[in-house]
Structure 1
Amino acid sequence: MNLLSPRPLSPVAGPGPDGDACCRPATPLIPERLGSRRRRIWELGAHAHCPVIGVCLPLPVVRRLADKVLGGQALATDYELHCGVNSDCRQRNPMAEAVQKELDRRYLLTVRQSLKLKTTEALAGWWQQQRQGDSVPGALWATLTHSRCDALLEERVLQDIHLLQHQAGAANRADLARLDSLLDENRVLANELARVQERCTRQAREQAQKLERTQSELVLARAALVGRDTLVACLREDLAALEASIPDLRGRQALNEQLARQLGRIQDLERALLRTQQTLEMERLRQTQTEPPDDQTPSVEPQDAPGPQAPATGEVLGERAVLCVGGRPASVPAYRRLIEEVGARFMHHDGGEQDHIARLDSTLAAADLVICQTGCISHDAYWRVKDHCKRTGKRCVFVDKPSAASLRRALVILKPVKG
């Protein structure tokens, strides 16, 4: 073996001494034979070793085989290693046998496929088909070692491989230029991807925080719901216990509701009745003041005779206490002025709006006359006034709409009738 100090090979490219093509051997190396045994790599011409090893075996595989055969690490460069293995494959030796075994193992299926070809013409047609595809290395090895590969076919195959190597080199340079362009584009896309990933990460973080807040709110809402359900269950239990302790509770509630509706209806009717009574009373007073009695003859006193003076306005009610229940707070000063103009003492209770309803009874007891403005007091105050006046016989005028004019009419009704 001359692996570590290879000898230069005969040029594969370049014209021969007779001006023939670059891949044609100087002397015929393949005897005309019709045997069926495949040729070994050391049985091929030296001009075939370079394309076979260069095309069919990657450089890392060649270096691994050399290290295994040498029992150590080959110190040669890739080019020196290639040339040394080519030189060793010219004759049978451990290196050539290792290369033969690796090629047969690597391209076993392709070799088996080529064994079905029985003629040189069939083998040549098969090679033309394979060289157009992606299995050129396996087809090259199977064709050159086939028993029907003659010198002419071998020369044609090596010429095709020579041109394919040139084309592969040109394509490789175009691929490198394309690769540079793709690398630039890849850098741009990588930067854009980094920005997008950063934005997505930020959005994912924001969404995670929002989801965490939502989940916290959901936990609080569920806790509130559980508390509400618990309260509802407790209230239902209390209601059931109350219904069990009070017989016919629901019937009583229905009766109370019906009673409240009836009381409201009665109050409306009484208000209407009071308005009618007030109208009739006003009409009666008006007739009393304008018409003389039927059993008396109207008389006209002389103008120069001194007649009896009418009582002053402030002496009509004679210091009686007049209680005004209800009314608008802003109209209270006006109510006070009207009542004090007729000589009465003014008292007031708002009917339970601000004054406590329990004070109404004591205020009613201190009053001599009562004016109840029913439009702005509660039902409880209304019934307290009505019950007190009915029980004590105290005069009371009910006014539906609170106003100064209504109060003035009520004072006219409350004036004592003179005999």
Structure 2
Amino acid sequence: MCDKDQLPVISNCASDAPEAALTSRRRRIWELSHTCHCPLVGVGLPLGYLRKLVGKMTGGRVMADDYEVHVGAVTECGTRNRLSEALQKEFERRYAPVLLRFRAAKSGEQVAQLWLAAVANGDVAGAFWAGLTHPRCSPELEEQMCRDLHMIQHQAGACVRADMSKFNQLVEENAGLARELARLQQRSQALLIDKSAELERADVLLMQARAQSIGKDSVIDGLRAELAQLQESIPGLESRTRLAQRLEQMEERERELRMQVAELRQAPARPADAPPAPAAKAEPARSMKMPIRLVDQSVLCVGGRSGNVATYRALIERVGAQFAHHDGGLEDNANMLDSSLAAADLVICQTGCISHSAYWRVKDYCKRTGKRCVFIDNPSISSLARGLQEVSGASEPVALD
């Protein structure tokens, strides 16, 4: 006999009321009011699982639509049968944690408080089942729970419609972003291909440059080895080169002296009866007339013959200037040339006896600093005297003795 048929008898017996109120047995799904079955099945179980469960109970494929399946399940919940028992087991299994929480309630007020808390948290499916089947659930609380769930379903429907609208907008926005992403990915892929090709070309050029550099280094090493062999094959090459330069300087000096001797021999002799020169004019004819601006100033002579350095010094110091000399890198340290140029007030560069490096260093330094510089092609005493005469602006030649 179905337990549902006994409910009116229990509710009408006044003597059994205290026992029913104090019982701890939870109600089954077929013992609930028929008005509770529809929201319980609709909220408590997913529609897909319900169709699967109905098909399993009927032993075949369910051809009815979703509404018919729902209505059929609600109808079967009114009595105890295979489907209602299967639904009872599924509810018990699915909402076991919620049932444990509601088991601590000892009165209808505590059950109501747990239900309100579940409504506030938005988790009403398990609380609805645990509250309806609780032994302390009164008909008034059952009706209130059904009302609350009814309004929640209305609100949920409105929220679903709003969510569907937002979902459709998001779908459209996502489609637009997907198209933009695809376009950017194509562009990025094209740029990556271009950069890869450019990098490959750069690698090829780098390999070529490295190969050329290695080839040049090999050539330089070969030339250095050949130069070392040549230097080893000629013993005393450096000293021979220096001696050859000295020999060339001495030959040039000898030619100049011979020219001076020839000039003196060709000069006309003074008549014997010529009156002596006045005492006022007894000053040597070769006295130097230099401007005062060279007095107590430093004159640097770069280059020239080493044998004429003493004559250069005497010629410069005769006008009161200080003499300094640098051979232009032949024997003196070339690094000392900059300090000598900085200390000089006038620079005389004898280009005939100077290295190319020293020549360009003197020219560049004087051009940058604006220092006076005289370039003399012939490293002779007379050429130095003419250079001094040109700088000083003297009207008479500079004395050579």
Q: TM-score, normalised by structure 1?
A: 0.53
Partner Cα separation in structure 1 for residue 235 and residue 84 of structure 2: 115
Q: How does 1:108-119 map to 2 (within 5 A)?
A: 108-119=96-107
Deviation by residue 1:158-208 (Cα, 9 ceiling, x = unmatched): 111000011111111211222232223223322222221221121122222
Structure 2 residue 53 is matched with structure 1 residue 65: yes
- Seen in structure 2, the aligned counterparts of structure 1 residues 154 and 265 have a Cα distance that, compared at 3 Å, is farther
Structure 2 residue 150 is matched with structure 1 residue 162: yes
Partner of 2:268: 291
Partner Cα separation in structure 1 for residue 162 and residue 149 of structure 2: 19
Higher deviation after alignment, 111-120 or 44-53: 111-120
1:47 maps to a residue whose letter is T
Structure 2 residue 227 is matched with structure 1 residue 280: no
Partner Cα separation in structure 1 for residue 219 and residue 31 of structure 2: 101
Partner of 1:91: 79
Partner Cα separation in structure 1 for residue 216 and residue 93 of structure 2: 80
Q: How does 1:264-413 map to 2 (within 5 A)?
A: 264-268=245-249, 270-271=251-252, 273=253, 276-277=256-257, 279-280=259-260, 283-284=263-264, 288=266, 291=268
Q: Which has the higher helix share?
A: 2
Partner Cα separation in structure 2 for residue 85 and residue 174 of structure 1: 30
- Seen in structure 2, the aligned counterparts of structure 1 residues 228 and 276 have a Cα distance that, compared at 3 Å, is closer
Number of residue pairs the alignment of both structures matches: 265
Partner of 2:319: none
Q: TM-score, normalised by structure 2?
A: 0.55
- Seen in structure 2, the aligned counterparts of structure 1 residues 220 and 71 have a Cα distance that, compared at 3 Å, is farther
Deviation by residue 1:203-228 (Cα, 9 ceiling, x = unmatched): 12222223333444455566667777
Between structure 1 and structure 2, the one with the greater Rg is 1
**Offset of residue 38 of structure 1:** 2.1
Partner Cα separation in structure 1 for residue 219 and residue 108 of structure 2: 99
Q: How does 1:200-239 map to 2 (within 5 A)?
A: 200-220=188-208, 231=218
Partner of 1:300: none
Whether the 8 Å contact between 2:111 and 2:137 is mirrored in structure 1 is: yes
2:180 maps to a residue whose letter is E
Question: Identity of aligned pairs, percent?
Answer: 38
Partner Cα separation in structure 2 for residue 77 and residue 90 of structure 1: 21
- Seen in structure 2, the aligned counterparts of structure 1 residues 151 and 280 have a Cα distance that, compared at 3 Å, is same
Partner of 1:144: 132
Instruction: Name stretches of at least 5 consecutive residues in structure 2 with no aligned partner.
Output: 1-10, 273-350, 353-376, 379-401
Partner Cα separation in structure 1 for residue 191 and residue 166 of structure 2: 36
Deviation by residue 1:295-345 (Cα, 9 ceiling, x = unmatched): 9xxxxxxxxxxxxxxxxxxxxxxxxxxxxxxxxxxxxxxxxxxxxxxxxxx
**Offset of residue 276 of structure 1:** 2.6
Structure 2 residue 68 is matched with structure 1 residue 80: yes
Partner Cα separation in structure 1 for residue 109 and residue 50 of structure 2: 33
Deviation by residue 1:330-376 (Cα, 9 ceiling, x = unmatched): xxxxxxxxxxxxxxxxxxxxxxxxxxxxxxxxxxxxxxxxxxxx97x
Partner Cα separation in structure 2 for residue 217 and residue 134 of structure 1: 69
Structure 2 residue 86 is matched with structure 1 residue 101: no
Task: Name which of 176, 190, 193 aligns with 1:188.
Answer: 176
